[in-house]
Chain A
Amino acid sequence: MVGVNRRTRRLFTETLVGELVGISGSLLAGYGLAFMLDDLRSLPAFLVLVPAFLEMRGSISGASAARTATALHLGTITSRLEFSEELQTEIVVSTFLGIFLSAVLGVVAHFFSILLGFSSIGLIQLTVLSVVAGSVSSVIMLFAADFSSILFYRMGIDPNNVVGPYVAMLGDIVSIGSLFLGARFVLWVF
């Protein structure tokens, strides 16, 4: 790029790198969806749930990682991986949110689908699928988002600069994997 100043070039490079990381996560999530095609077809209304579930996961983990990063900088969470009060609160809050909101989404996705004239696998089935996926992804993302912020901080890397795109990428992949487990569980039980 001729005649472009250094700040613009830096903006360009940072945006591009962030996007390529994000796209790689979305690509894997996309392949995961294509891989689940049979389950998506045999479990009506399952696909209605998918984007909302990904969105919820991203919002909870992103916010939780951001809070942990701030707490690390403030010293209320230490990098020694001990269960301080602040860390306990973070774990309880993000796990509760993940499971509670999964249940809400399952219920709403069911009634939304029925209302719009789609078929649904059923209120209980869709909610169980969502809650199983929500629980599995909550536990994995807790380690992936919060504990990795602590590890980054220990390595001398500011988690604020790394964790955003990294959590978003991982969140997509973990969500699709968890939804697959949830779908398998529902197909197995019901």
Chain B
Amino acid sequence: MDWIKAKKILSESLPVLILAPLLSLLAGVMLNSTLEGLARVPILLTLAPIFSGRAGDFGVIIASRLTSALHLGLIPPRLERNPVLRTYLLVDVTVILIAAVYVSLVLHFLSPVFGVPSVGLPFLLFITGLGFLIIVLVIFAVGVLVAIFTYASGLDPSNVSFPIVTAVGDVAGVATLILISRVLGLL
């Protein structure tokens, strides 16, 4: 047991490991305030980790790709239009729309097996398609900012930036899900 090393890991990671879940508590608060609605339409509760997960995943994917690209000098550390960013965005939007179709199909056909009634395939396609699209666009911006910040400050992305990005993803994901469900009159 190496106590010096243990102390180093703890002192580096504790602040972020406390701060990030505190941010995620906001997502929990939003879910909790709609609990009765979620109980009426439980498939929305099933969608909650999926929305949060996608937002967190894409945030980390974008931030880590850009951090590497910045270190390699592929893109300049400035906010401007450039072909690398455009390719990333196109790839991510395509992937997320395929993911939306996958989630909708699985949810529609598998949910009754788990005792969770479906709200219909068109509804699911609309919620996930629009929701994922909003998430990618919002989180893309977050990822770009975080990458530039991480690059400029010289922080270790896996210890500092990524936990914060996944926490922001939790909040963005749940907020998007609740918003769309409200607009569709499901909640």
Closest to A11 in B: B91
Those of A4-20 within 8 Å (CB) of chain B: 8, 11-12, 15-16, 18-20
Q: Which of A24-32, A151-159, A182-190 contacts B (4 or more CB under 8 A)?
A: A24-32
Which listed residue, B6, B29, B49, B102, touches A20 by the CB 8 Å rule?
Answer: B102
Q: Counting chain B CB atoms within 10 Å of each CB, which of A8, A15, A51, A88 scores highest? A: A51
Sort chain B's interface into a size bin. Answer: 35 or more
Distance of A31 Cα from B42 Cα, bound (Å): 9
In the assembled complex, A142 has its CB within 8 A of some CB on chain B: no
Q: A30-B50, A37-B45, A55-B21 are in contact. Are A118 and B33 (CB under 8 A)?
A: yes
In the assembled complex, A168 has its CB within 8 A of some CB on chain B: yes
Q: A27-B107, A30-B49 are in contact. Are A63 and B158 (CB under 8 A)?
A: yes
Q: Which of B12-20, B119-127, B144-152, B178-186 contacts A (4 or more CB under 8 A)?
A: B12-20
Distance of A89 Cα from B9 Cα, bound (Å): 10
Distance of A37 Cα from B53 Cα, bound (Å): 20
Cβ-defined contact, B54 with A19, below 8 A: yes
Q: A34-B42, A34-B114, A62-B162 are in contact. Are A8 and B13 (CB under 8 A)?
A: no
Distance of A34 Cα from B99 Cα, bound (Å): 21
Which listed residue, B46, B95, B158, B166, touches A55 by the CB 8 Å rule?
Answer: B166
Distance of A155 Cα from B79 Cα, bound (Å): 42
Cβ-defined contact, A26 with B49, below 8 A: yes
B95 cross-chain contacts in A, Cβ below 8 A: 12, 15-16, 19
B61 cross-chain contacts in A, Cβ below 8 A: 15, 18
Q: A45-B32, A51-B31 are in contact. Are A34 and B46 (CB under 8 A)?
A: yes
Cβ-defined contact, A89 with B54, below 8 A: no
In the assembled complex, A82 has its CB within 8 A of some CB on chain B: no
Closest to A60 in B: B17
Distance of A50 Cα from B48 Cα, bound (Å): 11
| Contact code string B89-128 (vs A, CB < 8 Å = 1, else 0) | 0011011101100110011001100111000000000000
Closest to B33 in A: A118
Distance of A50 Cα from B47 Cα, bound (Å): 14
| Given contact pairs A62-B158, A88-B1, a sample of 6 additional A-B residue pairs in the complex whose CB atoms are under 8 Å apart | A18-B61, A19-B99, A30-B48, A31-B46, A41-B35, A59-B20
A residues contacting B by CB (< 8 A) are: 8, 11-12, 15-16, 18-20, 22-23, 25-27, 29-31, 33-35, 37, 40-41, 45, 47-56, 58-60, 62-63, 66-67, 85-86, 88-89, 92-93, 96-97, 101, 104-105, 108-109, 112-113, 116, 118, 168, 172, 176
B residues contacting A by CB (< 8 A) are: 1-2, 5-6, 9-10, 13-14, 16-18, 20-25, 27-29, 31-33, 35, 38-39, 42-43, 45-50, 52-54, 56-57, 61, 87-88, 91-92, 94-96, 98-99, 102-103, 106-107, 110-111, 114-116, 158-159, 162-163, 166-167, 170, 174
